[in-house]
Amino acid sequence: MPLAPIDKVFSGSIPKMYQALMVPLIFEPYAADMADRVAEISPSRVLEIACGTGVVTRALDEALDDDATIVATDLNAAMIEEARSQGTRREVEWRTADAMTLPFPDASFDCVVCQFGAMFFPGKAHAFAEARRVLSPGGVYLFNVWDRIEDNDFAHVIAQALAKMFPKDPPRFMERTPHGYHDAAVIRRDLAGGGFPEADIETLAARSVARTAIDPAIAYCQGTPWRSEIEARGSLEEATQASARAIESRFGAGPVDGKIQAHVVMVKR
């Protein structure tokens, strides 16, 4: 399913809501895992692509040796500014950059990291080739992508609730993009097209926990590009409340605890 123009737009109030709500809900467990994997490599210069509001950047800052340098990039300047405002222990070089045309010389980094960004690349093989280009020989590219939406409880329940609310034209952002790149065979094909013939892919499940049913409803409906799709069809508040009721029906009023699942991919140049 091709990306829609709004899929890559994280602006307005979305960056702050994303950081406050989505990051603790689903991104922090995988950020810690990613940082641990990078630390095992002991890189000296790390590039992060699609850093968002910096959850992995901050985890890398804590996990890596003090002399390691981190360059963190994202396509959306508003996300970079939110990431910068969170602060880091070491000085991080923050840059707005497109994964399709990375503004760095060949062989600039010994590790490239991307958490839940590859799904947004309009040309996956080309973006992977760009990551390979900026890696030094023997360097590691480590990224993760969400598994299918059916294996991610809150996203799936909310998608079903929104489909009932807007049956003629359901908002499909979450199925189309965040959970639209989960087929390991397709990922391997695109990696091979980008110059990585061998790939290690591990499926990793975790838990998503919130205080009440309304918290994930607000996070997903208002803190992601789903928001723009909902607002184009009707009331954001009504959609949020319908999503909260669906979560409460499935998981209780709170605390609520749902499964999340992703693929972790490692390749070497």
d(CA 214, CA 259): 17
pLDDT tier, 3 (very low <50, low <70, confident <90, very high otherwise): low
Given this model, what pLDDT does residue 105 score?
A: 98
**Whole-number average pLDDT of the chain:** 94
Given this model, what pLDDT does residue 64 score?
A: 98
- Taking only the tens place, the pLDDT of each residue in 81-96 is 999 999 999 999 999 9
Q: Across-strand partners of 140? A: 111, 268
Given this model, what pLDDT does residue 9 score?
A: 47
- Taking only the tens place, the pLDDT of each residue in 193-204 is 999 999 999 999
Residue corresponding to tokens 């760095």 = 104
Please check whether residue 74 is in contact with residue 50, taking contact to mean a CB–CB distance below 8 angstroms.
yes
> What is the 3-class SS of 174-239, one letter each residue?
HHHCCCCCCCHHHHHHHHHHCCCCCCEEEEEEEEEEECCCHHHHHHHHHCCCHHHHHHHHCCHHHH
Given this model, what pLDDT does residue 18 score?
A: 84
- Taking only the tens place, the pLDDT of each residue in 213-231 is 999 999 999 989 899 999 9
**For the chain, what are the domain ranges?**
5-148+175-208+261-268
- Taking only the tens place, the pLDDT of each residue in 165-200 is 999 999 999 999 999 999 999 999 999 999 999 999
User: What's the CATH number of domain 5-148+175-208+261-268, 3.40.50.150, 3.30.70.2740, 3.60.21.10, 3.30.420.480?
Assistant: 3.40.50.150
Given this model, what pLDDT does residue 17 score?
A: 84
Given this model, what pLDDT does residue 8 score?
A: 46
- Taking only the tens place, the pLDDT of each residue in 126-173 is 999 999 999 999 999 999 999 999 999 999 999 999 999 999 999 999
